[in-house]
């Protein structure tokens, strides 16, 4: 039926692409958690207006980065365990809701690591506790995110 995807295979199936993909590597991945990282490029277009002279990564982009790892990539991995490749191709994982607390900022050029822990996965729905940290260990944001598999 299904199969265990490698982190690289899972990343290749994430539908978001440049310039809107906020995962560079998946460092750990199993049925219960994911650890992924991304370095925000200093020349990303959104920094021009957020905020001139003191750019920071918009919160909505940080939430998107957490969702891409903790919901989309994790969801793809979990679906692949249950469904064959043909069925997996018919499903796209979409982010549906979030409750996030911000405790820091991400500057241009900084690398973040996102860790997601599965709370539940059933009926193509996934809910996860997700946390984003800077390389120095400072938590930037954390919360609960959810998503679901829908037909392509």
Q: What is the pLDDT along the chain (152 residues), one digit of tens a residue?
A: 789 999 999 999 999 999 999 999 999 999 999 999 999 999 999 999 999 999 999 999 999 999 999 999 999 999 999 988 888 889 888 889 999 999 999 999 999 999 999 999 998 899 999 999 999 999 999 999 999 999 88
Whether the link from the prior residue into 152 is cis, omega within 30° of 0, is no
Residue 66 to residue 84: CA distance in whole angstroms = 26
Residue 48 to residue 37: CA distance in whole angstroms = 23
DSSP 8-state code for residue 53: T
Q: Which CATH class is domain 7-151?
A: alpha beta
pTM, 2 dp: 0.95
Point out the residues that are catalytic.
50
- Dmax (CA) for the chain in angstroms is 54
Domain residue extents for the chain? 7-151
């Amino acid at each position: 039926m299904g199969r265990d995807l490698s982190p690289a295979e899972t990343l290749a199936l994430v539908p978001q692409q440049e310039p809107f993909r906020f995962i560079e590597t998946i460092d750990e991945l199993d049925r219960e958690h994911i650890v992924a990282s991304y370095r925000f490029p200093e020349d990303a277009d959104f920094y021009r207006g957020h905020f001139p002279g003191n750019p920071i990564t918009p919160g909505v982009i940080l939430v998107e980065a957490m969702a891409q790892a903790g919901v989309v990539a994790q969801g793809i991995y979990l679906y692949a365990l249950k469904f064959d490749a043909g069925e997996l191709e018919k499903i796209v994982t979409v982010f549906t809701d979030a409750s996030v607390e911000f405790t820091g900022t991400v500057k241009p050029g900084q690398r973040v690591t996102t860790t997601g822990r599965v709370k539940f996965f059933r009926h193509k729905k996934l809910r996860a506790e997700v946390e984003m940290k800077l390389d120095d260990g400072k938590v930037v944001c954390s919360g609960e995110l959810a998503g679901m598999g829908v037909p392509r």
